[in-house]
Amino acid sequence: MKGIAKLVNSYLKKKLDLTIYNDVFADDKAGATDIICRYDPSEAAERRFIDGTRRVEEQLSFYCRSPDATQARDTLDDIIKTLDNHHILQIDDDRLICQCEAVTLPQFVDMSDSGKTTYTCTVKIIYRE
């Protein structure tokens, strides 16, 4: 399904009031906390069924960069709590019946020269199409 990250990010915006960018951080503003979502490079794990549908597993990694390390970690923790073990993501008329699983908890990545700390976590989305 194209746009699974967009659907998940829209769901998180609705539930947590977060703006999540795709693939790259927005401009580095001094006090801003930024969140991005990336598809993990992995095999397209799928199982095809006799009725023509298929089971798809996609992993999405979320990165949060903030001048406050605790805020970065807590923001990703909120994302994990919102998605883990969830089965229906509903945004307006778009509905995805899926299984969401936390793959990793928030983990430290690095600290930039400007003093921002980056954390990451990964979620697996399993669905049929």
Task: Please state the pTM of the whole predicted model.
Answer: 0.86
The number of domains in the chain is: 1
DSSP string spanning 83-113? Answer: HTT--EEEETTEEEEEEEEEEEEEEEEEE-T
- The CATH number covering residue 83 comes to 3.30.2000.10
Say how far apart CA 123 and CA 54 lie, in whole Å. Answer: 20
Q: Among the ranges 21-25, 85-89, 107-111, which has the highest mean pLDDT value? A: 107-111
* Residue 71 belongs to domain spanning: 4-128
Residue that has been written with the tokens 């883990």 in this structure: 84
Give the pair of three-digit tokens for residue 21.
Answer: 């960018």
Is 52's pLDDT higher than 90?
Answer: no
Per-residue pLDDT for 78 more than 90? yes
pLDDT, position 44: 63
How do residues 91-124 score in pLDDT, each as one tens digit?
Answer: 666 667 888 899 999 999 999 888 899 999 999 9
